[in-house]
Amino acid sequence: MKLKILVIDDEKSILQTFKLRLTRWGHEVFLASDGNFGMDLLSQVDCDLVVTDLKMPGMGGEKIVKLIKQNHPETEIVVITGYASVEVAVDIMKEGITDFFVKPLNFDQIHIVIDKICERIALKEENRLLKDRVGELKNKIEQQDRMYNLVGKSKKMREIFKLITKVAPLNTTILLSGETGTGKEMIAKAIYHVGTRKDGPIITVDCGTLTETLLEAELFGYEQGAFTGAVGTKRGRFEQADGGTIFLDEVENASPAVQKKLLRLIQEKTFQRLGGDAPIKVNVRVIAASNQNLLQLVREKKFRQDLYYRLNVVPINIPPLRERTEDIPLLTRYFVDIYTKRLEQKPMEITPESIKLLINYSWPGNVRELINVIERTIIMTPGNTINKFYLSDEHEPEDNFSITTKISLDPPLKEQISLLEQRYLCLALERYHGRIKDVAERSGLNARTLFRKMEQYKLNKRDFN
């Protein structure tokens, strides 16, 4: 191995001897007759080894050693001197130099030391290359388990990755199905980013949070005077998504009137704003999602059969987390890394026992619940090692509020009822992970009343997902 070697000595004969010997041994040699020049030279040339005299006018060898250790920690150092003592040798060796020689020099011994330095540097380089190679392989493996923020190595997720790769470049309509929290919106965004429409917009519409009239106006827009409060013309989400992708989440909540308009738009690529007559043509890819069995809803006459088949050109079913437990360790590490950075925490280690706890949990809220558990755990864990994950059921609110609280005439009855109503809605939204239909059925409220009360108490369904 060829080394770059800098020799610093105030004796010209020593410099010339090193030049002759080191060149003969196949190394590249640089010479400096004093310490200052030697350090300037070292700042310009990345040397593997510095051989320096200990006693020199101006900057001596001890200072040179300290500067090299401070500014060039990877550089090997050999010290030579004509004024040796045991104390001097011990002191200079404490600085972490490679070796120490006394003049007159024995170049056979120096040759042996330099050969060992060559072997050591070669081994370091080999280890570095091996580490880089391992890093490349690790990244390659991780890339196989990931696709635009989607993480998974289970057979089902790999099949989904392959399907996304196949359909993303096309413009066909896609229907995503799966339980709440399985990551349907993330799948939709992955399709968008992998596909050919990534330079266009992606617009998300949650069909479960809007009433019939509001959803229709939101999707298709309206003309001035179309209804009370329509003081101007508004472009709908389909117009905003022109040239890109629209993601219709919880599409099963669309009313029959909205379903009819959706069908026409998908078939003819045209629609009309509310209160408008002129057809508007758009070029939009539709990705729809449902956490219910749409085919069953079709059988029950709750969803249009023709719209179902228009949406279900390419079906993608996302499995619940409990059916792909082999993905849990990978997902956990991925989200721990994300949320430690987001929460400005130091990197955290995860014990195998804590991972087993996650694998054995049922995950009714799926990946969304896992994310919440991880964020909560990072906040509540002292130190930088996660020994236990704080699962949702450990902090689940009680089904019933205590009625043993002392009744008071203050505050007024209206305020006490409002407080109880707000607590009830928070409990229901958390229990059903923000699913409006389930909350409405459990509470006995219709969807419109529920939305009004949520707005009154500033409750957002996404905060409970």
Q: Compute the average pLDDT of residues 391-418.
A: 58
Is 432 strand, coil or helix? Answer: coil
The strand pair at 76-81 and 99-102 is best described as parallel
Give residue 194's pLDDT. Answer: 87
Between residues 392 and 102, the one the model is more confident about: 102
Specify whether 158 is located in the same domain as 302.
yes
Between residues 340 and 90, the one the model is more confident about: 340
Q: Pick the last residue of a domain from 268, 299, 319.
A: 319
The pLDDT tens digits for 63-112 are: 999 999 999 999 999 999 887 666 777 778 888 898 989 888 999 999 99
Specify whether 186 is located in the same domain as 58.
no
Give residue 243's pLDDT. Answer: 94
pLDDT band at 394 (very low <50, low <70, confident <90, very high): very low
Specify whether 330 is located in the same domain as 314.
no
Specify whether 359 is located in the same domain as 280.
no
Q: How far apart are CA 419 and CA 109, in angstroms?
A: 87
Q: Give the position of tokens 């919440």.
A: 372
Q: Pick the last residue of a domain from 294, 319, 344.
A: 319
Specify whether 179 is located in the same domain as 194.
yes
Domain assignment present for residue 142? The answer is no
Specify whether 118 is located in the same domain as 19.
yes
- pLDDT(402) > 50: no
- DSSP structure class, residue 195: S
- pLDDT(3) > 60: yes
Domain assignment present for residue 135? The answer is no
Given a contact cutoff of 8 angstroms between Cβ atoms, the answer to whether 183 and 367 are in contact is: yes
Domain assignment present for residue 339? The answer is yes
Domain assignment present for residue 331? The answer is yes
Q: Compute the average pLDDT of residues 329-345.
A: 90
Q: Compute the average pLDDT of residues 145-169.
A: 83
Between residues 322 and 414, the one the model is more confident about: 322
Given a contact cutoff of 8 angstroms between Cβ atoms, the answer to whether 337 and 370 are in contact is: no
Domain assignment present for residue 263? The answer is yes
CATH number of the domain enclosing 80: 3.40.50.2300
Specify whether 172 is located in the same domain as 296.
yes
Is 134 strand, coil or helix? Answer: helix
Specify whether 279 is located in the same domain as 170.
yes
Question: Radius of gyration over alpha carbons of the chain, in Å?
Answer: 35
CATH number of the domain enclosing 238: 3.40.50.300
Specify whether 265 is located in the same domain as 200.
yes
Specify whether 104 is located in the same domain as 218.
no
Report residue 205: phi and psi, to 5°: -125, 125
The pLDDT tens digits for 50-61 are: 999 988 888 988
Domain assignment present for residue 134? The answer is no
pTM value > 0.85: no
Domain assignment present for residue 35? The answer is yes
- pLDDT(23) > 90: yes
- pLDDT(393) > 60: no
The pLDDT tens digits for 369-386 are: 999 899 989 988 888 899
Specify whether 304 is located in the same domain as 241.
yes
Domain count, the chain: 4
> Which residue range(s) make up the domain with 382?
326-395
CATH number of the domain enclosing 389: 1.10.8.60
Domain assignment present for residue 271? The answer is yes
Q: Pick the last residue of a domain from 395, 422, 443.
A: 395
Specify whether 289 is located in the same domain as 161.
yes
